[in-house]
Structure 1
Amino acid sequence: MARTTLNPQAVDKQWTLTISRTFDAPIQLVWDAWTCREHLTRWFCPKDFSVLSFESDLREGGQWRSVMRGPDGSEYIHFGTFREIMSPHRLVLTHAWEQNHQEPTAETVITVTLVENGGRTTMSFEQIGLATEASRDSHGGGWGEAFDNLAAHVKVDGDDAQRILVINRVFHAPRERGVEGVTRKPSNWSSGTDRAGSLRVSNSMSSAPAVNGVTS
């Protein structure tokens, strides 16, 4: 479960949101989920929302921008700049709304810190500079639902990524003929027949753990 810490008082009329969440996934997969567009389009929104697009230039000083659609069809656009990228432990970025009729205009700073322990990853999330207490509470609800999406996403991706298929081929032919066989036009061997010009093969299949998870 996410733990949301709501500051009892504003500091300089700004509010801070902090959330802690532990995921059943390795740190690299959680980092990829925060930094790869293919992952972000699958979780970076509240419940019942969908991510229509996510664009990013993942470098310090690079920009990001995302469009999401709510259940009533309204579109919301948020964007920002990457300030710090320390793979796979720390990500700092700015956040602002380009289009959101429910939130005041304010640039905030988000810091995501990841720590792995025993194959699980604890994420510390902090967003500073929120304009009002209501905005802090609203963002807390939205991020909480997004992190529910993230938890489900990395669990599914982690399960799928734990094992990859390895296919071994034993060719009963000299090395030179084997190279020629797999680089020439495949009309005589791709069908699996034993016609002239083909190679006889014995197939074995095994599975092995994937390395560093997977990036979809």
Structure 2
Amino acid sequence: MAEAGQETRTETATADREIVISRIIDAPQELVFEAFTEVRHLSQWWGPEKFTTTTRSFEFREGGEWVFVLHGPDGTDYPEWIRWRRIAPPERIDLLHGEYPDDPNSFETFLAFAPDGAATRIVMRTVFATRELRDAAVEKYHAIEGGRQTLSNLAAYVTGIVGKGAQG
């Protein structure tokens, strides 16, 4: 019995510090992945509903950074910073996300893209340094709903591209 408990602890060592959101998107894996690689795509869908994005700088490569401002529907601006840590096309992107470089409250996000028939399953796993930071993100910034809305925006964007391609 103790061994089983130990296994569970190992499997969920970060469970109290993470948010996992997944979605099946009716578009090919390469297109869903590509939507993360170019600012012309990201600026069309990134963020929760009714948010917009202004990019200050963007370099999509391992070690590269994306510096941007997320504009809330109430007029609040949120400075944002991402460092791309690992890029494995078209299966995986790992990133560090905060308000600025060396932000002590930054968090890691691991994005996995996998074919699901003609569609793509995306899994977004975000890991915070502490449970308290995770809980604050959920309570103050509605991180779970915001993550779901962001993936919904991504789905609408890429399926729109697929639909336009089918028409043309």
Number of residues paired by the alignment? 150
Instruction: Tell which deviates more after alignment, 48-57 or 34-43.
Output: 48-57
Say which SS state the counterpart of residue 109 (structure 2) adopts: strand
Sequence identity (%): 28
Residue 97 of structure 1, CA deviation: 1.9
CA–CA distance in structure 1, aligned partners of residues 56 and 147 of structure 2: 17
CA–CA distance in structure 1, aligned partners of residues 113 and 87 of structure 2: 12
- Give yes or no for contact 2:24–2:116 (8 Å, CA) kept in 1: no
Higher strand share: 1
Q: 1:42 to 1:85 in 2, by over 3 A?
A: same
CA–CA distance in structure 2, aligned partners of residues 114 and 132 of structure 1: 23
CA–CA distance in structure 2, aligned partners of residues 112 and 132 of structure 1: 18
Give TM-score, length-normalised by structure 1: 0.63
Match of 1:133 in 2: 135
1:144 aligns with 2:148: yes
Structure showing greater radius of gyration is 1
Give TM-score, length-normalised by structure 2: 0.80
Match of 2:164 in 1: 160
- Give yes or no for contact 2:24–2:122 (8 Å, CA) kept in 1: yes
The correspondence for 2:82, drawn from 72, 80, 83, is 80
- Give yes or no for contact 2:95–2:110 (8 Å, CA) kept in 1: yes
After superposition, the C-alpha distances for 1:157-213 in whole angstroms (9 at most, x for unaligned) are: 11112365xxxxxxxxxxxxxxxxxxxxxxxxxxxxxxxxxxxxxxxxxxxxxxxxx
CA–CA distance in structure 1, aligned partners of residues 152 and 167 of structure 2: 25
Alignment of 1:97-108 (within 5 A): 97-98=99-100, 106-108=105-107
CA–CA distance in structure 2, aligned partners of residues 105 and 146 of structure 1: 24
Match of 2:96 in 1: 94
CA–CA distance in structure 2, aligned partners of residues 24 and 132 of structure 1: 30
Q: What do you get for the CA RMSD once the two structures are aligned?
A: 2.3
Higher helix share: 2
1:35 aligns with 2:37: yes
Q: 1:54 to 1:159 in 2, by over 3 A?
A: farther
Any gaps of 5 or more consecutive residues in structure 1? Answer: 1-9, 99-103, 165-216
Any gaps of 5 or more consecutive residues in structure 2? Answer: 1-11
Instruction: Tell which deviates more after alignment, 61-70 or 16-25.
Output: 61-70
Aligned structure 1 segments of 4 or more residues deviating by more than 3 angstroms: none
Match of 1:47 in 2: 49
